[in-house]
Amino acid sequence: MQELSPAVKKETVHVAAATAVLTVLMWIVFFVLHRMMPEQVPFDYRVILGGLGGCLVAVLNFFLMGLTVQQVVNTEDEDLAGKRMKASYSRRMMMQMLWVVIAIAAPCFYFVAGIVPLLFPSLGIKIMALFGIVK
């Protein structure tokens, strides 16, 4: 196993921070909507747990992608590199789909709060690029 590259560490920290901030903002939106429409929008431990789980899965997905890219960059065989990327993509999508099923099926999670954070790494990267934090 090779050492984790500084670029993967740095970008994972950026994505984790952005995803965490966006998850907190999501909780604030849930809280406000709950205050306005308590019958339609919940705000309880299930929203918090769903957000935490979704945030963790989203950051883990990004980190595993970074590890795969780091590994593929050091691979001389293009066919092998392509196969590794495809296999990584399939495993990471399976992990996210498993989380979606768990978030929907398990009563301890509010499914919307568990699924929405999966979109936050991409959104966070776009926001950070807009403000010049990342290139």
Tokens 């979704």: give the residue: 54
For residue 1, pLDDT beyond 60: no
- Measured CA to CA, the distance from residue 114 to residue 48 in angstroms comes to 9
Tell me the pLDDT tens digit for each residue of 60-108: 999 999 999 998 988 888 999 999 999 999 999 999 999 999 999 999 9
H-state helical runs in 42-77: 45-73
Domain boundaries, the chain: 6-130
pLDDT tens-digit series, residues 12-32: 999 999 999 999 999 999 999
Q: What is the model's pLDDT at position 76?
A: 87
The pTM score is: 0.92
For 100-110, b where at least 16 C-beta lie within 10 A, e where not — what string?
bebbeeeeebb
